[in-house]
Amino acid sequence: MHKVIYDTDPGVDDAMALLFLHRHPEIDLLGITTVFGNASVETTTRNALFLKREWNIAAPVSKGAGVTIDHTREDRAWPAMVHGDNGLGNIAVPETVDVPVDPRPAHRFIIDTVRSHPGEVRLVAVGRMTNLALALKEDPEIATLVKDVVIMGGNFYVPGNVSPVAEANIHGDPEAADIVMTAPWKVVVIGLDVTSITTMSRSYLGGMAAKGDGAVKLLDALSQHYIDFYSHSVEDGMMVHDSCACVYVVAPELFSSITGAVRVVCGGIADGQTIVKPDGRRFPPGDWDGLPSQVICTGIESEKVIDLIRDTLLAA
Ligand code: BDR
Ligand code: CA
């Protein structure tokens, strides 16, 4: 069993990924930690509680960061055109959901849970990296105690999605992402290089909803606004960014990768750009030296990934 903490900003593609983690038989979901990104942290936490209740998920929800790790950074507008004003595609979601939140802040929940299962926890982070960076700051030793960190974020050999060079999760808190990439733990980076070519069509999802239970029907309903948004780049379908990171946890053989030290640009026109120094390439001394070598996914078997998501969601 893979013991997973899911750090997320639900978020439409986050919701699909959550249902995947909940339903995959080899995943033991230990907790859901929330972060700001697709909406405020109040909204993403409410959404996590809503999905927990609707989908009968046992894992606790712990509320995380609502601002960047560098508090002097300016706020940016929420991406309502992508995920809707309420983060879940503008479907009806109650203002408040009567499900208790874990009393600990997300970074503390992460530290405690990692320490209770040394060497076993896989952190799957699909929002801004703020909670992970806060956990590392408070307890640097956790870097040696997690099994690995699988993130959805960044872009290396393809353009960004919030600027020509930056992807949303990294751009939303570049300083936090640089802390996470350079810490002495194993990070697997599932970025736009692989997620932007992994799309599910409206009719494929509709077919799943027709066969599936209420959970899949709810997922279909909350995805419609997001699919409309993607009409500029996907033909009647959507990129399933966050699910790709979750699929990696159980099926890494569907991905190909390179390794190298990763840094994140903090500030200027390239704010939030992720840059790898591939292992084996020689450069004069520089800012990537002496840092851990991380795994950067550059290839994906998209059709198999999409089918695995379908089979997992329909297996209930
Ligand atoms: C990432 O940004 C968010 O909008 C999505 O949920 C995903 O995690 C894609 O760039
Ligand atoms: Ca996300």
Predicted local distance difference test score (pLDDT) of residue 233 = 84
Q: 70 vs 65, 81, 82, 201, 274, CA distance in Å?
A: 12, 26, 25, 38, 18
Residue 47 near ligand 1, beta carbon < 6 Å: no
CA of 169 from ligand 1 middle (Å) equals: 6
Q: How many CB atoms lie within 10 A of CB 253?
A: 9
Predicted local distance difference test score (pLDDT) of residue 50 = 98
Residue 11 near ligand 1, beta carbon < 6 Å: yes
Domain that holds residue 108: 2-313
Q: Which residues of the chain have pLDDT under 70?
A: none
Q: Which atom of ligand 1 is nearest to the CA of 82?
A: 4
Q: How many structural domains compose the chain?
A: 1
CA of 290 from ligand 2 middle (Å) equals: 30
Ligand nearest to the CA of 194: 1
Residue 126 near ligand 1, beta carbon < 6 Å: yes
Q: Which residues form the catalytic set?
A: 241
Determine the Cα–Cα distance for residues 226 and 245; give it in Å rounded to an integer. Answer: 19
Of all protein residues, whose CA lies closest to atom 4 belonging to ligand 1?
Answer: 38
Residue 243 near ligand 1, beta carbon < 6 Å: no
CA of 126 from ligand 1 middle (Å) equals: 7
Determine the Cα–Cα distance for residues 243 and 149; give it in Å rounded to an integer. Answer: 15
> In which element (H, E) is residue 34 found?
strand 27-34
Phi-psi region of 267 (alpha: psi -120 to 50; beta: other; left: phi over 0): left
For residue 127, give the CATH number of its domain.
Answer: 3.90.245.10
CA of 309 from ligand 2 middle (Å) equals: 16
Q: What is the pLDDT of residues 65-93, one digit of tens each?
A: 999 999 999 888 899 999 999 999 999 99
Predicted local distance difference test score (pLDDT) of residue 104 = 98
Q: What is the pLDDT of residues 9-33, one digit of tens each?
A: 999 999 999 999 999 999 999 999 9
List all residues 6 or more positions away from 98 whose beta carbon is below 8 Å from its beta carbon: none
Nearest to 241 by CA among 175, 190, 173: 190
Residue 38 near ligand 1, beta carbon < 6 Å: yes
Q: Which residue among 6, 7, 14, 238 has the greatest number of ligand 1 atoms within 8 angstroms of its CB, and so is best to mutate? A: 14
Residue 8 near ligand 1, beta carbon < 6 Å: no
CA of 242 from ligand 1 middle (Å) equals: 7
